[in-house]
Amino acid sequence: MIENTINATLTGDTLANALNFAAYLRENEMPVDENSSEVTYRGKVVCHMYVDGSAQYPGPWTIWTDGDYSSEPDDFPIDDHTKQVAWANVNICGNCGGSCSPGKSATIFGREFDSVCNAVMAFNNPDAQALECAKKMIEMKRRGAES
């Protein structure tokens, strides 16, 4: 269980936020594969979550989301505050050698970004506000998995 890793690895507000997120995943039937960091819904990956407690990125814990965030779905409006948080967490490619190097241009909720990683957003050590944004991004992806 991811909660065991979280409890053994994180402390303070980081621990509380990570446990909150783990509860959200469990309540919404999105298991975490601790070997691959994949979080799935109905067999489709909705995000990745990594927990190691390290002071170096991607530690102590990070949630990566991907998807088409070029605009908000008509039936799932995204408020301006959430857009601001999303933009602050855009994952700029670090040329790690992955398939996205050196990144791509992307439109995220109407704003253009250059050098964006395949994992469009990286919520590193997210606070409660960033977690709410991550949950909305995951919910957008989850809705796609339902269809």
Which residues are bridge partners to 40 per DSSP?
45
d(CA 75, CA 57): 35
Query: Domain ranges in the chain?
Result: 2-146
Is the pTM of the predicted complex or chain greater than 0.85? yes
Which residues are bridge partners to 121 per DSSP?
65, 90
Which residues are bridge partners to 48 per DSSP?
38, 64
- pLDDT for position 147: 61
Token digits of residue 124 = 């590193």
Whole-angstrom Cα Rg for the chain: 15
pLDDT tens track, the chain, 147 positions: 899 999 999 999 999 999 999 999 999 999 999 888 999 999 999 999 999 999 888 889 999 998 888 887 878 889 999 999 999 999 998 777 677 778 889 999 999 999 998 889 999 999 999 999 999 999 998 887 666
d(CA 28, CA 89): 23
- pLDDT for position 90: 96
- pLDDT for position 139: 93
- Residue position matching structure tokens 């814990």: 61
Cβ neighbours for 80, distance < 8 A, ≥ 6 positions apart: none
CA angle 142, 98, 115 (to 5 degrees): 80
